[in-house]
Amino acid sequence: MNNSNYPKDLSIVVSLYNEAESLPELVSWIERVMERENYEYELIMVDDGSRDGSWETIQELAKRNRNIRGISFRRNYGKSAALYCGFEAATGRVVVTMDADLQDSPEEIPEMYAMVTGQGYDIVSGWKQHRQDNKLTKNLPSKLYNATARLITGLKLHDMNCGLKAYRNEVVKNIEVYGEMHRYIPYLAKNAGFDKITEKPVHHQKRKYGKSKFGLNRFINGFLDLLSLWFLSTFGKKPMHFFGLTGTLTFMAGGVIAIWLIIDKLISQAHGLRFRPVTEQPLFYLALVALIVGIQLFLSGFIAEMISRSSSDRNHYNIKDRI
């Protein structure tokens, strides 16, 4: 089926941690879909430091299927690290990511593949429209999290964190996934210039084996990561625009308050009116704090600007084409 410049039609990247029980069933399911659609594919399974025999299971599966490739970490680094290495190894025209817990259905892959190759999308993100998780601990926090993500990123995705996604190969080769930023790959792609992003409702199944590796703290960490990404994408190459402006406004506010207190005292004193010494007024100390904070913010922006201008990738730009 492959008629492109890429060795494979599809690269399926599966990041996993202690999912030995589900792997044979997942691989068998993927194989059935790939054979039915006649795809040239590779299945890249990234073992994120499992301790339950997942790597041994991958090795056994790879002996039976030449399309399976495996990467094993010495310890648990996290999903972002696993996806980064999987993306680096991917050679397919379209790269699909999915979880190993059997909650993502490989039956969704052909339609997502067609949306990328036929309709020209850079990313097709899955939308678990009818989640099979606990409504109190997963559904409600997820809705709040995704609403916040839509507001900040400007991407109209209902399920930013869905593990089932399809990407053009060029997308995954031009973004860097690190820390816990796997939740915001569409936003990373948008900031890199890949803005043809859509979503597709996908079937979500109950977990069959084991338990979830993520707790409620992921929503707190996810929100903080989102703010970091927003700040870096907005002010990463021009930090002085944020720190300098904020510092200047804070300094000016403190200065105006201090001057007003002094002038008010002088006028009252000149007219023989009662007045409080400037140093006995709480507002004066708030003005001093504002002056000091303003100076610190301005200097922080100055230092950040120097670091930014000295960065090795200060002139790194994603070029779409040349003639």
More confident of the two residues 209 and 299? 299
Same domain, 33 and 105: yes
For the whole model, what pTM was predicted?
0.77
Distance, CA of 138 to chain centre = 19
Mutual angle of helices 54-64 and 23-37, in 10-degree steps: 30
Say how many domains are in the chain.
Answer: 2
pLDDT value of residue 152: 85
Confidence of residue 67 (pLDDT cuts 50, 70, 90): very high
Q: Bigger pLDDT: 321 or 278?
A: 278
Q: What's the Cα-to-Cα distance from 223 to each of 90, 228, 255, rounded to whole Å?
A: 29, 9, 35
Per-residue pLDDT at 82 exceeds 60: yes
Domain co-membership, 50 together with 95: yes
159 lies in the same domain as 283: no
Instruction: Please tell me the distance from the alpha carbon of residue 199 to that of residue 150, in angstroms, as a whole number.
Output: 13
Residue 177 has pLDDT above 60, yes or no: yes
Domain-located, residue 51: yes
CATH code of the domain covering residue 40: 3.90.550.10
With a cut of 60, say whether residue 137 has pLDDT above it: no
**Is 316 part of any domain?**
no
Element (H, E) at 93: strand 92-99
283-294 per-position pLDDT tens digit: 889 999 999 999
Distance CA 319, CA 313 (A): 14
List the 123-127 sheet strands across, edge first: 68-72, 41-47, 8-16, 92-99, 165-168, 123-127, 197-201
Instruction: Note whether 13 and 87 are within 8 A (CB).
Output: yes
277 and 202 in a single domain? The answer is no
Which range marks the domain in which residue 31 is found?
8-234
| Residues 173 and 273 grouped into a single domain | no
Residues 75 and 187 reside in one and the same domain: yes
User: Is residue 280 in a domain?
Assistant: yes
Residue-level pLDDT at 213: 59
Residue 59, pLDDT > 80, answer: yes
- The chain-wide mean pLDDT, for the chain, equals 86
Residue 95 near residue 11 (C-beta atoms within 8 A): yes
Residue 295: band (very low, low, confident or very high) from pLDDT cuts 50, 70, 90: very high
